[in-house]
Amino acid sequence: MLTKRIIPCLDIKNGRTVKGVNFVNLRDAGDPVELAKQYAEVGADELVFLDISATLEGRKTMREMVLKVAEQVNIPFTVGGGISSVEDVDVLLKCGADKISINSSAIKRPELINELSQKFGSQCVVVAIDAKQIDGNWFVHLAGGTIPTDLDLFEWSKEVEQRGAGEILFTSMDHDGTKAGFANEALAKLSDLVNIPIIASGGAGSVEHFVDTFKEGKSDAALAASVFHFGEIPIPELKRELKNNNIEVRL
């Protein structure tokens, strides 16, 4: 049985960690390098850094921050935001990132997924998908959730797997920041549909929500931000509770 992973997500804007609700109303959550170090020490399995304004503002992800994080942590970390070429990825991996995450750039030019997995291996390529339910169907959004597309979540997920993605990071925009639980029905459907790991994102508010997404949502990993940043759910406590629910985690 594969170990389930707990992944704090650090949304970065102007060099600071921020957190909002439904992708808006952002508030400051601290220094990303300091937070990363703390998370590594308390038992996080991986970290994700997303430069949430990079695509909108046409900037590249902060290389200096990646270098600093690589010096401070001994767990794998993923970097995303403003990545649109093999060159971008090459720089970030050389700075110390273990994986990269692409979202809008993959939708605009799906061949990028093929290029990256062929050059760096699929284990380095995470495709992030932000989706929202409209009239019962899940539609993919791009540019930090600001632009709707007519892409279906499940069709797009199948395509990214076929193109060589190693993981899918699925964020339910309807659940993001609400602390009302993950989109487990959609997650379970995704998990049945593709053979690559699915990271659940959007909606974590309690320990039970993590238990539910691993059991009902069939998620391989669960990602959260504010409940970790603001100390609402300590990671050691969360992992003990998962273990008590017969969910295999690294303690």
Instruction: Give CA–CA dist 116/131, Å, rounded.
Output: 23
What pLDDT, on the 0 to 100 scale, is given for residue 85? 95
What pLDDT, on the 0 to 100 scale, is given for residue 56? 54
Question: One digit per residue, pLDDT tens: the chain, 251 residues?
Answer: 689 999 999 988 877 888 665 545 677 777 889 999 999 999 999 999 988 766 555 455 578 889 999 999 999 999 998 899 999 999 999 999 999 999 999 999 999 999 999 999 999 999 999 999 999 999 999 877 789 999 999 999 999 999 999 999 999 999 987 899 999 999 999 999 999 999 999 999 999 999 999 999 999 999 998 899 889 999 999 999 999 999 999 99
Which residues are known to be catalytic?
A: 11, 130
Report pTM: 0.92
Domains in the chain, CATH or no CATH each? 5-244 (3.20.20.70)
Query: Residue ranges of the alpha helices (H) in the chain?
Result: 32-42, 54-57, 63-72, 86-95, 104-108, 111-120, 153-163, 184-193, 207-215, 226-229, 235-244
Burial class (CB in 10 A: 0-12, 13-18, 19+), 101: buried
Instruction: Give CA–CA dist 73/182, Å, rounded.
Output: 28
Question: Token pair of 3, please?
Answer: 């170990």
What pLDDT, on the 0 to 100 scale, is given for residue 54? 63
CA distances from 23 to 47, 143, 176, 177 (A): 19, 11, 7, 8
